[in-house]
Amino acid sequence: MKKVIIETEKTSKPIGPFSKAVKIINPKTLIFVSGHAARTKEGVIVKGDIKTQTRQIFENLKCVLEAGGATLKDVVKVTTFLKNMDDYSAYNEIRRQYFKNNFPASSTIAVKQLANESMLVEVEIIAAL
Protein backbone atom coordinates (compact mmCIF):
# COMPACT_ATOMS: atom_id res chain seq x y z
CA MET A 1 0.00 0.00 0.00
CA LYS A 2 1.18 3.49 -0.76
CA LYS A 3 -0.11 6.52 1.16
CA VAL A 4 0.05 9.89 -0.61
CA ILE A 5 -0.78 13.15 1.15
CA ILE A 6 -2.59 15.50 -1.22
CA GLU A 7 -1.83 19.19 -0.88
CA THR A 8 -2.72 22.19 -3.02
CA GLU A 9 -1.98 25.89 -2.77
CA LYS A 10 -5.41 26.60 -4.28
CA THR A 11 -7.14 26.21 -0.90
CA SER A 12 -6.31 27.35 2.62
CA LYS A 13 -3.84 25.44 4.80
CA PRO A 14 -5.24 22.99 7.36
CA ILE A 15 -5.75 24.55 10.80
CA GLY A 16 -4.94 21.38 12.72
CA PRO A 17 -2.96 18.14 12.55
CA PHE A 18 -4.69 16.83 9.43
CA SER A 19 -4.20 16.70 5.67
CA LYS A 20 -6.57 18.05 3.05
CA ALA A 21 -6.79 14.57 1.55
CA VAL A 22 -5.06 11.22 1.61
CA LYS A 23 -4.81 8.94 -1.42
CA ILE A 24 -4.31 5.23 -0.80
CA ILE A 25 -2.88 3.21 -3.69
CA ASN A 26 -3.48 -0.54 -3.68
CA PRO A 27 -4.54 -1.09 -0.09
CA LYS A 28 -4.65 -4.74 0.91
CA THR A 29 -6.65 -4.16 4.07
CA LEU A 30 -8.88 -1.45 5.49
CA ILE A 31 -9.67 -1.26 9.20
CA PHE A 32 -12.77 0.68 10.25
CA VAL A 33 -12.58 1.47 13.97
CA SER A 34 -15.81 2.29 15.76
CA GLY A 35 -16.15 5.48 17.75
CA HIS A 36 -14.18 5.35 20.99
CA ALA A 37 -14.78 7.24 24.20
CA ALA A 38 -12.29 7.79 27.01
CA ARG A 39 -13.00 4.47 28.71
CA THR A 40 -10.54 2.46 30.73
CA LYS A 41 -10.09 -1.26 30.09
CA GLU A 42 -12.69 -1.79 32.83
CA GLY A 43 -15.22 0.36 30.95
CA VAL A 44 -15.08 3.40 33.23
CA ILE A 45 -15.07 6.82 31.58
CA VAL A 46 -11.95 8.73 32.57
CA LYS A 47 -12.70 11.81 34.65
CA GLY A 48 -10.98 14.97 33.54
CA ASP A 49 -10.80 17.59 30.87
CA ILE A 50 -10.72 17.23 27.09
CA LYS A 51 -6.95 16.62 27.10
CA THR A 52 -7.22 13.74 29.58
CA GLN A 53 -10.08 12.16 27.66
CA THR A 54 -8.36 12.63 24.29
CA ARG A 55 -5.19 10.93 25.57
CA GLN A 56 -7.21 7.94 26.79
CA ILE A 57 -9.04 7.67 23.48
CA PHE A 58 -5.87 7.67 21.39
CA GLU A 59 -4.25 5.11 23.68
CA ASN A 60 -7.35 2.94 23.21
CA LEU A 61 -7.25 3.43 19.44
CA LYS A 62 -3.59 2.40 19.38
CA CYS A 63 -4.53 -0.85 21.15
CA VAL A 64 -7.33 -1.61 18.70
CA LEU A 65 -5.11 -0.90 15.71
CA GLU A 66 -2.35 -3.07 17.15
CA ALA A 67 -4.83 -5.93 17.55
CA GLY A 68 -5.59 -5.53 13.83
CA GLY A 69 -1.93 -5.41 12.81
CA ALA A 70 -1.78 -1.65 12.27
CA THR A 71 -0.44 1.52 13.92
CA LEU A 72 -1.45 5.17 13.97
CA LYS A 73 0.85 5.66 10.96
CA ASP A 74 -1.68 3.62 8.97
CA VAL A 75 -4.62 5.91 9.84
CA VAL A 76 -6.00 7.69 6.78
CA LYS A 77 -9.18 9.25 8.24
CA VAL A 78 -10.20 10.55 11.66
CA THR A 79 -13.71 11.65 12.55
CA THR A 80 -14.08 13.50 15.85
CA PHE A 81 -17.28 14.32 17.69
CA LEU A 82 -16.82 17.15 20.20
CA LYS A 83 -19.41 18.07 22.78
CA ASN A 84 -18.00 21.62 22.89
CA MET A 85 -16.16 23.22 19.96
CA ASP A 86 -14.34 25.43 22.47
CA ASP A 87 -12.31 22.27 23.18
CA TYR A 88 -11.06 22.02 19.57
CA SER A 89 -7.63 23.58 20.20
CA ALA A 90 -6.96 21.51 23.32
CA TYR A 91 -8.09 18.35 21.49
CA ASN A 92 -5.71 19.12 18.62
CA GLU A 93 -2.86 19.81 21.03
CA ILE A 94 -3.06 16.22 22.28
CA ARG A 95 -3.81 14.77 18.85
CA ARG A 96 -0.55 16.31 17.53
CA GLN A 97 1.30 14.09 19.99
CA TYR A 98 -0.10 11.02 18.22
CA PHE A 99 0.17 12.17 14.60
CA LYS A 100 3.59 13.72 13.91
CA ASN A 101 3.48 14.15 10.11
CA ASN A 102 1.70 12.80 7.05
CA PHE A 103 -1.49 13.59 8.88
CA PRO A 104 -4.70 11.69 8.12
CA ALA A 105 -7.70 13.38 6.54
CA SER A 106 -10.09 14.61 9.22
CA SER A 107 -13.53 15.88 10.11
CA THR A 108 -14.63 17.38 13.42
CA ILE A 109 -18.29 17.65 14.27
CA ALA A 110 -19.92 19.46 17.19
CA VAL A 111 -22.64 17.37 18.80
CA LYS A 112 -25.30 18.23 21.34
CA GLN A 113 -24.57 15.14 23.40
CA LEU A 114 -22.72 11.83 23.31
CA ALA A 115 -23.71 8.38 24.58
CA ASN A 116 -22.79 9.26 28.19
CA GLU A 117 -22.98 12.71 29.76
CA SER A 118 -19.40 12.36 31.09
CA MET A 119 -18.04 12.02 27.55
CA LEU A 120 -16.51 15.17 26.07
CA VAL A 121 -15.26 13.61 22.84
CA GLU A 122 -15.59 10.50 20.70
CA VAL A 123 -13.22 9.52 17.89
CA GLU A 124 -13.50 6.99 15.05
CA ILE A 125 -10.77 6.16 12.55
CA ILE A 126 -10.05 4.33 9.31
CA ALA A 127 -6.67 2.70 8.71
CA ALA A 128 -5.28 1.28 5.46
CA LEU A 129 -2.57 -1.35 5.13
* Tens place of pLDDT per residue across the chain (129 aa): 888 889 888 888 887 788 888 988 888 999 999 999 999 999 999 999 999 999 999 999 999 999 999 999 999 999 999 999 999 999 999 999 999 888 999 999 999 999 999 999 999 999 999
Closest CA to 121 of 74, 61, 62, 42: 61
Q: Which whole-number Å values give the CA distances from 116 to 112, 113, 119, in the listed order?
A: 12, 8, 6
Map out the domains of the chain as residue ranges. Answer: 2-128
Instruction: Note the pTM of the prediction, 2 decimals.
Output: 0.89
Q: What is the pLDDT of residue 13?
A: 81
Could you tell me whether strands 21-25 and 2-6 are parallel, antiparallel, or unpaired per DSSP bridges?
antiparallel
Q: Which homologous superfamily is 2-128 in?
A: RutC-like (3.30.1330.40)
Beta strand residue intervals within 17-71, DSSP E: 21-25, 30-36
Residue 45 in contact with residue 90, Cβ under 8 Å? no
Q: Exposed, middle or buried, 90 (CB in 10 Å: 0-12/13-18/19+)?
A: middle
